[in-house]
Amino acid sequence: MSQIKDPCQKAACAIQKCLQGSKKKAKKRRSQILGAEDVADIQHEGDFLIKPESKVAQLDTSQWPLLLKNFDKLNIRTAHYTPIPSGSNPLKREISEYIKTGFINLDKPANPSSHEVVAWIRRILRSEKTGHSGTLDPKVTGCLIVCIDRATRLVKSQQSAGKEYVGIVRLHNALENELQLSRALETLTGALFQRPPLIAAVKRQLRVRTIYESKLIEYDPERRLGIFWVSCEAGTYIRTLCVHIGLLLGVGGQMQELRRVRSGVLGEKDNLVTMHDVLDAQWQFDNNKDESYLRRVIFPLEKLLVSHKRLVMKDSAVNAICYGAKIMLPGLLRYEDGIELNQEIVVITTKGEAICIAVALMTTAVISTCDHGVVAKIKRVIMERDTYPRKWGLGPKASQKKMMIQKGLLDKHGKPNESTPSGWKQEYVDYSATPKIQQAADAPKRKHVSETDSDSAEPSTLKKKKEEHVDNADSDAATPVKSSKKKKKKDKGGDTENETAAHSEKSKEMETAGSDEGETVLKTKKKKKKDKTEERESPAEETEQASESVKKKKKKKKETAD
């Protein structure tokens, strides 16, 4: 019986569960029906609004890439500008543009020279131009920044950036303590005199180089080898530094091995790449059309400018700067704290592209207080022209100027004339005009030019005087009778016959004056030709005289010798 009871109980339990489930579903349906009915009441009774808050939700731009990192912390001059759908984020450029505006942080192998390595990379990537951030000797390894095509514009600034090295020095004799070597390294900090080593392909001229910091990492007394780290100025010779360490210790020393650990902003840990990586990445792109490897090997040039202070410009001002316009305050959107006079800064777009490297002419404090003026002057333009459209000449002042030119209130070049209103002359500042200081500097040059002009004008005045002299002589020769007759006239008390004769002679002279003038012009021309021929002949005569004098001297010498 027990076997029969069990299935019945199971069936009863299943039925109960089904009934309970159906009840729950019915409740849900009722609640849904009730909810749908009461929606209007809930909406009528409830308060639905965006409540005001004292805090504004801030963007977290700490993870934004390259030059846009922490851009929300920049000072805002104005937030109003018209975005232009040109250009792109440096990381999202097309692969052809990406390569042209990129650089490689290369781990240079030992034995080939820096120029050879750069030439190989140019051949692998099939690019037009490549440059590097400072020559490494053939045996030296480490960071070598290779700039491609448009990024070569930054090569000069990278070459002058600071460098860091790890080297091995071999001492010729043993030392008593390891401390002696560390003290010698400490003494060789600051400005040092250096003469390039014999191996260097540079003029061996004494020069001053600064070593900022140095420390001893390890010393092996058995093999007399010391490993040290140095942070120094560009152009420092570590080979000569090792020789100087040996001289200071009195045991002598030489460099055994060297590796560059950092070049400018980039170090060993900042995506260092080998030659094989570059070759493989290009092969993947050529055969499998896979860009990802090239994008990991090559980086946008903006990464080299991360340490510079930033100015963010409006999209409408970008192309004007590419054409060499001054960086003015009205085109500025944001600026960074701590900008000092004559500091090297980078000018960027709203998308984070580098437009140019510039030299600051205003500090952060001045920028915040002024509303017009030149913020910075361009040092090196990086962006290609016409990446953004031309937008100059469309502003309020420029359009007003065009209207005034049409009405005739300004001349065709936009400069004030007689009908220009006085208010325009006072208000309008022409930044393209040279300042008074520059004009004052140019004044002595102009005087010098005028003096040279006057010197060159002297011969022409002399010629004129000569011509006048010739004319006077001809006229004197033509009128001897006239003067004698005047004397007779005075003597005789003025006879009528003499007077009539004098009048007739005067009329004849007037008639012949035209012909005399023509003759004098011809005579002067002939004289000029004669003078020229004489001038041409004179140097030949002088050379003949000189040769004759030399011959005479030789004869005298022979006679004295005999």
Question: Could you report the per-residue pLDDT of 123-160, keeping only the tens digit for each?
Answer: 999 999 999 988 888 999 999 999 999 999 988 888 88
**Residue of 462 and 359 predicted with greater confidence:** 359
Kindly state the DSSP code that residue 312 receives in the 8-state scheme: E
Cα–Cα distances (Å) from 324 to 306, 383, 422, 520, in that order, read 23, 11, 31, 59
CATH class of residue range 162-263? alpha beta
SS3 178: helix
Contacts of residue 124, defined as CB under 8 A and 6 or more positions apart, other chains included, come to 278, 279, 282
Contacts of residue 128, defined as CB under 8 A and 6 or more positions apart, other chains included, come to 149
**The two domains 59-88+308-392 and 162-263 share their CATH topology (first three levels equal):** no
- The reported pLDDT for the residue numbered 459 is 46
SS3 27: helix
Contacts of residue 147, defined as CB under 8 A and 6 or more positions apart, other chains included, come to 103, 130, 131, 132, 133, 154, 155, 158, 301
Q: From the centroid of its chain, how far is CA 243?
A: 38
Q: From the centroid of its chain, how far is CA 550?
A: 60
Confidence of residue 354 (pLDDT cuts 50, 70, 90): very high
What's the CA gap between 53 and 246, in Å, rounded? 69
pLDDT tens string 325-341: 999 999 999 999 999 99
- The reported pLDDT for the residue numbered 41 is 74
pLDDT tens string 423-454: 888 888 776 665 554 555 555 555 444 444 44
- pLDDT of 240 higher than 80: yes
What's the CA gap between 428 and 130, in Å, rounded? 46
pLDDT tens string 361-388: 999 999 999 888 999 999 999 999 989 9
Which run of H or of E encompasses 42? Answer: helix 2-45
How many other CB atoms are there within 10 angstroms of residue 51's CB atom? 5
Contacts 24+ apart (CB under 8 A), 135-138: 136/108, 136/260, 137/113, 137/199, 137/200, 137/258, 138/110, 138/111, 138/112, 138/113
224 exposure class (CB count in 10 Å sphere: 0-12, 13-18, 19+): middle
Q: Given its phi and psi angles, is residue 386 left (phi above 0), alpha (psi -120 to 50 degrees) or beta?
A: left
pLDDT tens string 461-516: 444 444 444 444 444 444 444 444 444 444 444 444 455 454 555 555 555 444 45
Which run of H or of E encompasses 451? Answer: helix 436-478
Contacts 24+ apart (CB under 8 A), 360-365: 360/309, 363/339, 364/75, 364/335, 364/336, 364/337, 364/338, 364/339
- pLDDT of 415 higher than 50: yes
Which residues does the annotation mark as catalytic? 137
- The reported pLDDT for the residue numbered 1 is 41
Number of residues that make up the chain = 562
pLDDT tens string 280-299: 999 999 999 999 999 999 99
What's the CA gap between 310 and 194, in Å, rounded? 36
Mean pLDDT along residues 242-256: 91
308 exposure class (CB count in 10 Å sphere: 0-12, 13-18, 19+): buried
Q: Where do the domains of the chain lie?
A: 59-88+308-392, 91-157+270-301, 162-263, 484-530
Per-chain mean pLDDT for the chain? 78
- pLDDT of 230 higher than 90: yes
299 exposure class (CB count in 10 Å sphere: 0-12, 13-18, 19+): buried
What's the CA gap between 261 and 478, in Å, rounded? 98
**In terms of CATH architecture, what is 59-88+308-392?**
Roll (2.30)
**For 538, how many CA atoms within 13 A lie in the half-sphere containing its CB?**
6
Mean pLDDT along residues 255-276: 91
- The reported pLDDT for the residue numbered 367 is 92
Does residue 372 contact residue 366 with C-beta atoms inside 8 Å? Answer: no
- The reported pLDDT for the residue numbered 63 is 81
What's the CA gap between 83 and 333, in Å, rounded? 12
pLDDT tens string 522-562: 455 555 555 555 555 454 455 556 667 766 776 776 666 65
pLDDT tens string 8-60: 566 666 666 665 666 656 655 555 554 555 766 776 777 777 777 676 667 77
**Residue of 313 and 473 predicted with greater confidence:** 313
CATH 3.40.50.300 fits 91-157+270-301, yes or no: no
- The reported pLDDT for the residue numbered 462 is 44
